[in-house]
Chains A and B, each alone.
Chain A
Amino acid sequence: MTVNMGPQHPSTHGVLRLVLELDGEVIQSVTPTIGYLHTGIEKTAEQKKWQQVIPLVERMDYLGPQSNSLAYALSVEKLLGLDMPRRVKDIRVLLAELQRIASHLIWLGTHAMEIGAVSMLFYAIRERELLLNINELIAGFRFFPSYIRIGGLREDLPRGFHEAVNAFLERFPAKIDEFEGLLSKNDIFRRRTLGVGIITKEDAAAWGLVGPICRASGWDYDVRKYFPYSGYETYDFDVPTQTDGDVYARYRVRIAELRQSVRICTQAIARITPSGVWACDDPRIVPPPKDKVYTEMEALIQHFLIYSQGFTVPAGDVYVPVEGPRGEHGCYVVSDGTNRPWRVKMRPPSFMAIQALPSIVQGGLIADVVAVIGSNDVVMGDCDR
């Protein structure tokens, strides 16, 4: 029998369509169809100036927007040869880790809800609300802050930022215990996840599933440890790994990552001073402060130049990976030496995860498909771009 699952199905995380060939409840083959959310962001980015691309790329992976903009900003900064001040790096790390927690909370809530633990979603969304409030604090926008810019940050941290982050970090570890108390030893949850959707260590590498999926299969690969960026080498944290490679192992890895993210955030917030430098001191890239624009002619000219014709980036191409919530988010940027990018390409971890889906679920039960999609943590905006 052929069953069409999606594109409008509550557990396909957006608009993923799967054509399932079934024999009873056993899956014979799966054919994923994607592209329903393709918005041509990469083509649009070629028409924009360098700094105008930041809000665009944030809309790709809408649950982890700042890992997209961080990858993009780091790659353009690498072409420009810029190095960020220590405080900017620390703030970026803090934001990236808060982002990871927010994304993992949505993953945890929806994944558990899809396999039966509906109330899990309410617990997870409640904590995520606090992180969205922090986003609102820094940028006035809850989902896509566009706070990370080429050459630094949009502006200095707002008043009340440290209090909000510290309050969250104090409250959250107990909540992780609560999540684990609800799920880790829950008999129904374990039966739906243990031994289901196994990805072997070799398969994880062959299918390019670098990220939490490969760490649940026995690799310890993490961009933050292997190719540190934005000062991650100065933080003390572990990379959680599991060896079973099933849905439950991926759950264990992501829960452990929540704890590690809290650890990194605690170190980062202690380093960040409430006010200080928030961008590098390159006047070609970073607009001058507003009070100087109003009083000094040169600053006004510089401000006008940056916002009308933009800045140019040396010709060349560069690929910078960051460890996003779903795995390796990389940004391949090509410049032809003008004020607009020649090509912007994001490496989408969800795209790879859906590609590998048929090989994971074949021979399993139809109910396992939902568990596997959830545990691979796919975001269709990231997949289709």
Chain B
Amino acid sequence: MDASAIIDTLTPLVTGATYEVGKSVDFATIYVPADLLIETSLALRDTPSLAFNVLVEVTAADYLPREPRFEVVYHLLSIANRARLRVKVRVASGAAAEGIVPTVHTVWPAAGWPEREVYDMFGIVFGGHPDLRRILMPEDWEGHPARKDYPVQIRKAAQTYEPLEISEDEFKANIERDRVRRVQH
């Protein structure tokens, strides 16, 4: 099924749908506006003629200095129809941190971690994501490494961590809490 046929199937199912066919050399690519992503995803998953039941991966690409700068890329797979589809969402550089792209983890649970990775690497915030923390980089890392304006080689002073400190009171409280549990069992 090529991209225009998929768009023809989708248009009656999603109100106010404006899709675009993307250029591609392997399989169909469509551009979806960020605000229609959830409805489109549900239609893609639940319509029997499409039945894209597997979200293979979520990634992004940074096209600096072009605007809109980012493209979030979803690769979908339909096992029943033996078909693949690439869904792209354009994100402007100013809108990356605003969460205009909704999370699709309610449609495909597999999106949870890949979206965290896109946030970690590109700084694109997914609106409504339940656990949008860094995943590959340390939690106190500054910047988003996969962006094109992020330096490839940086010099940073080695970070050291203080040994775990715990006060006498906390220590005793822990022991107490533990003891109560042991009695319960």
Contact = CB atoms under 8 A, between A and B. Distances in A.
Interface of A: 1, 24, 34-35, 38, 40, 42-44, 47, 78-79, 81, 205-208, 210, 219, 221, 226-227, 316-321, 328, 330, 332, 334, 342-343, 345, 347, 351-352, 354-356, 359, 384-385
B73 A332 contact: yes
Given A34-B136, A43-B152, A334-B61, A208 B82 contact: no
B75 A330 contact: yes
The 5 closest A-B pairs by CB, nearest first: A208-B110, A35-B136, A355-B113, A38-B136, A347-B57
B23 A24 contact: no
B152 to A, nearest CB: 6
B55 interface: yes
A342 B79 contact: no
B24 to A, nearest CB: 7
A385 B84 CA distance: 25
A347 B58 CA distance: 9
Contacts of A206: 53, 108-110
B26 A43 contact: no
12 contacts: A1-B178, A34-B135, A35-B136, A227-B84, A317-B24, A317-B73, A320-B26, A321-B56, A332-B59, A332-B73, A334-B61, A351-B117
A244 B109 CA distance: 21
B77 interface: yes
A64 B185 CA distance: 46
B25 A79 contact: yes
Interface residues of B, number: 39
Nearest to B131: A31
B185 to A, nearest CB: 6
B26 A208 contact: no
Nearest to B152: A47
A315 to B, nearest CB: 9
Given A316-B24, A318-B25, A384-B136, A210 B54 contact: yes
A274 to B, nearest CB: 34
A1 B27 CA distance: 49
Contacts of A321: 56
Contacts of B185: 24
A81 B25 CA distance: 9
Contact of B55 (A38, A81, A208, A221): A208
A43 B56 contact: no
Nearest to A203: B109
Contacts of A342: 61
Interface string B101-129: 00000001110111001000000000000
A44 B75 CA distance: 23
Contact of A317 (B54, B61, B110, B113): B61
Contacts of A356: 110
B94 to A, nearest CB: 21
B146 A42 contact: yes
A21 B86 CA distance: 38
A124 to B, nearest CB: 30
Given A1-B181, A316-B23, A38 B113 contact: no
Nearest to B108: A206
Contacts of A35: 134-138
